[in-house]
Amino acid sequence: MDRTARRTENRYGNRPTMKDVAARAGVGLKTVSRVVNGEPGVTPDTERRVQEAIAALGFRRNDSARVLRKGRTASIGLVLEDLADPFYGPLSRAVEEVARAHGALLINGSSAEDPDREQELVLALCARRVDGLVVIPAGDDHRYLEPEIAAGVATVFVDRPAGRIDADVVLSDSFGGARDGVAHLIAGGHRRIGFIGDQPRIHTAAERLRGYRAAMEDAGIPVDERWMSLGVTDPERVRRAAEEMLKGQEPVTAIFAGNNRVTVTVVRVLAELDRRVALVGFDDIELGDLLQPGVTVVAQDAAQLGRTAAERLFRQLDGATLLPERIELPTRLIQRGSGELPPA
Amino acid sequence: MDRTARRTENRYGNRPTMKDVAARAGVGLKTVSRVVNGEPGVTPDTERRVQEAIAALGFRRNDSARVLRKGRTASIGLVLEDLADPFYGPLSRAVEEVARAHGALLINGSSAEDPDREQELVLALCARRVDGLVVIPAGDDHRYLEPEIAAGVATVFVDRPAGRIDADVVLSDSFGGARDGVAHLIAGGHRRIGFIGDQPRIHTAAERLRGYRAAMEDAGIPVDERWMSLGVTDPERVRRAAEEMLKGQEPVTAIFAGNNRVTVTVVRVLAELDRRVALVGFDDIELGDLLQPGVTVVAQDAAQLGRTAAERLFRQLDGATLLPERIELPTRLIQRGSGELPPA
DNA sequence: CTGAAAGCGCTTACAG
DNA sequence: CTGAAAGCGCTTACAG
């Protein structure tokens, strides 16, 4: 190998380039490019010489350079709240599968529910010139994305709509799902029903609360302010909220949990109780069917959410001129026991 | 919105470049570069003019071009088996956090436990010139990575070692963890203990089986071949395997489940049974403490696995000349009831 | 069938 | 303090 003194201190660690391959094979640069990209118009003999040089040098095309020239990076960005939240697992995988089918790589990052961090991450992805973005927004003002979208970055929001810009969004029917779940509890005879949800600035949390209120109102049940608690979903806060509604003279007899994180903690709190309290949770949870009682949930299809968003993204990229659309997926009530417990 | 005729057929959608900014501000290209990168040696007045031009044009630096020139992409690749598997959630997040602390983005992809797909993905990442790779390998021959590593791509394997190359690896003590878990069952009086694990070609599966055998041998218990079942971890296969060991004259009285996927299915099978069968699972599972009985597990720290690997990766990138190392993290037996059930 | 030249949008190395 | 030239490793547009 004569690669030692080739370049001074190495970029990309001294990798051979098409130029090196061309020199070794005794052909022009463009011929190497043709062979590497499988373009026609190279005689078998020339091709063989080039292939040999490629193998001997261990050449691998630098897609960074290719991207610069071609203008598309064949990569998309996925910004979500927390890579470790089980809700995003199937969603991420679905996005990845669609991306893969379109030959694109997935750049993944978490906003940690922080609008500034979301923006920082999104703009970093734009600076890398991802072809498109799938965003589960943390913030409520996405005007910072306008120049990017105008410049051609395909963008689809998932799970929550964009703020102050008009963009595609794919979401679950949070309002309807919560309303149905709460109506189910009411149908079971409950009147004092608690709602524990995420921070009210988060669209899904607000929508689910709205669904809760609608179901209560439909049934003519006045809502006590103490039955509703919105805030961060860490176990301590949720635990306090649940305990608060469960004590006193007139405790709630049922709880609607606003998402999977809340449900898990409420299940823990209820397990410690000496009386039975009904529970319906938004989002399905693993093993929820094997608890005693099984956890009744309003399930949403996270994979379908991701798939729909990613497919929409690639339709944008394929040049379809689409007007921004709002796609809402239905939820499904799964009865497993906890939501069918009668009032104490 | 005027998104209809938004794109012509342009590259990067007609974005302004540093050249455009320079022209508008009436300065040289290099001055724009200085301002954009916060380099010193620009008078306040010049800087202001450039900033105005940047704002007016909506300029955003193209990191693709920057990368080509600088030689480092400030991105790392993470290849795992399945983005949707809860085991990888905390691991991914830990890798992301370390990457973020080092100013790098994370490109994420699944191998679906297919060696060819792993290689394809890894090489695609190398073609994008990621600075480093964190790989949970699906295959057992990674010689294809040799030229990449020689060219300077930092590489750390996680959860399973690399095959046929000498590379850093961070893993949990699968052998010791499984041995301890099985020894715990034996200490509880069990002698007919089943082992259901992943495909034997997967390192962790083989190691855990070895741990099972070691514990049995230490206790002087001859192992019946029918007590061991290795294969894919889809629910159908695991269910059949469990049912097989649980029937007949001399059924197993306890099962050791080789990973979280297996545990979840075995829990389901045991829940349908009219007799109590003990269970210890490798990997912790959410809500495992709330089942009846609670699921005893050999827990590994997935986040720590990811964090350790990523930190090691960046130490490589920071130029430390490190010999390939094998870092093994301890596991922890968590008793919750299922592993303490006596033999029938 | 083949290749030299120009260019993608930046940074580097250098000169003023 | 400022900027023109060269170059990163490819592809595009063109000419032979």
List the one residue out of B151, B95, B148 whose CA is nearest residue B126: B148
Which CATH architecture fits A1-61? Orthogonal Bundle (1.10)
Could you tell me the pLDDT band of residue B322, with boundaries at 50, 70 and 90?
confident
Could you tell me the pLDDT band of residue A15, with boundaries at 50, 70 and 90?
confident
**pLDDT (average), residues A128-148:** 94
Pairing of strands A296-299, A332-334: antiparallel
pLDDT at A250 over 70: yes
Could you tell me the pLDDT band of residue A12, with boundaries at 50, 70 and 90?
low
Could you tell me the pLDDT band of residue A344, with boundaries at 50, 70 and 90?
confident
Q: Of all helices (H) and strands (E), which one includes residue B242?
A: helix B235-246
Nearest to A60 among B6, B68, B126 (CB): B126
Backbone angles phi, psi at A174, to 5 degrees: -65, -45
According to CATH, the topology of domain B174-301+332-340 is Rossmann fold (3.40.50)
Size of chain B, expressed as the number of residues it contains: 344
CA-CA distance, B289 to B270, in Å (whole number)? 16
CA-CA distance, A251 to A339, in Å (whole number)? 17
Residues A216-241 pLDDT 10s: 999 999 999 999 999 999 999 999 99
pLDDT at B152 over 60: yes
Nearest to B86 among A58, A89, A100 (CB): A89
**Burial A254-264, CB ≥16 within 10 A → b, else e:** bbbbbbbbbbb
Chain B environment of A303 (Cβ under 8 Å) = 84
Q: Which nucleotide is nearest to B129 (CA to C1')?
A: D9
B291–A286: do the CB atoms touch at under 8 Å?
no
Q: Kindly report each contact of residues B215-218 with a partner whose C-beta sits within 8 Å and lies 24 or more positions away, as own/partner.
A: B215/B178, B215/B179, B215/B180, B215/B181, B215/B182, B215/B183, B215/B186, B216/B182, B216/B186, B218/B179, B218/B183
Which top CATH class is A74-172+303-329? alpha beta
The per-residue pLDDT for A338 is 98
Share of chain B above pLDDT 90, in %: 84
3-class DSSP state of B280: strand
The per-residue pLDDT for A13 is 60
Nucleotides of D under 7 A from a protein CB: 1-5, 7-13
* Alpha carbon of A209: minimum distance to chain B alpha carbons (Å): 26
pLDDT at A5 over 70: no
The per-residue pLDDT for A210 is 98
The per-residue pLDDT for A296 is 98
| Conformation bin of residue B84: beta by default, left when phi > 0, alpha when psi is -120 to 50 | alpha
CA-CA distance, A229 to A200, in Å (whole number)? 10
Q: Which residues from 155-194 of A have any strand C atom under 7 Å from their CB?
A: none
Report chain B's mean pLDDT, rounded to a whole number.
92
Residues B17-73 pLDDT 10s: 999 999 999 999 999 999 999 988 889 999 999 999 999 998 989 988 998 888 888
For CATH 3.40.50.2300, the residue range(s) in chain A are 74-172+303-329, 174-300+332-340
What's the DSSP call for residue B144?
G
The per-residue pLDDT for B12 is 54
Could you tell me the pLDDT band of residue A2, with boundaries at 50, 70 and 90?
very low
Q: Is the CB of B33 under 7 A from strand C?
A: yes
Nearest residue of B to residue A128 by CA position? Answer: B63
| A169 vs A39: which has the higher pLDDT | A169
Is domain B73-172+303-326 given the CATH code 3.40.50.2300 in the classification?
Answer: yes
Q: Which nucleotide is nearest to A70 (CA to C1')?
A: D11
> DSSP for B203-229?
HHHHHHHHHHHHHHHHTTPPPPGGGEE
Please report residues contacting nucleic strand D, using a CB cutoff of 7 A: A 11-12, 15, 17-19, 29-30, 33, 36-37, 59, 61-62, 65-66, 68-70; B 27-31, 34, 40-43, 45-46, 65, 68-69
According to CATH, the topology of domain B11-61 is 434 Repressor (Amino-terminal Domain) (1.10.260)
The per-residue pLDDT for B2 is 31
Chain A environment of B147 (Cβ under 8 Å) = 58, 60
pLDDT at A9 over 60: no
Residues B236-273 pLDDT 10s: 999 999 999 999 999 999 999 999 999 999 999 999 99
**pLDDT (average), residues B5-13:** 39
Residue nearest to nucleotide D4 (CA to C1'): B28
- Report the CATH superfamily, name and number, of domain A174-300+332-340: Response regulator (3.40.50.2300)
pLDDT at A310 over 50: yes
* Cα of B262 vs its chain's centroid, Å: 18
Share of chain A above pLDDT 90, in %: 84
List the one residue out of B144, B142, B102, B85 whose CA is nearest residue B312: B102
Residues A24-66 pLDDT 10s: 999 999 999 999 999 888 999 999 999 999 999 989 899 889 9
> CA of A290 vs C1' of D16, distance in Å?
75
Q: Does B58 touch chain A (CB under 8 A)?
A: yes
CA-CA distance, B137 to B158, in Å (whole number)? 8
For CATH 3.40.50.2300, the residue range(s) in chain B are 73-172+303-326, 174-301+332-340
The per-residue pLDDT for B9 is 36
3-class DSSP state of B107: strand
Residue appearing with tokens 């099985």: B182
For CATH 1.10.260.40, the residue range(s) in chain A are 1-61
| A100 vs B72: which has the higher pLDDT | A100
Helix A29-36 / helix A18-25 crossing angle, nearest 10 deg: 110
The per-residue pLDDT for A1 is 32
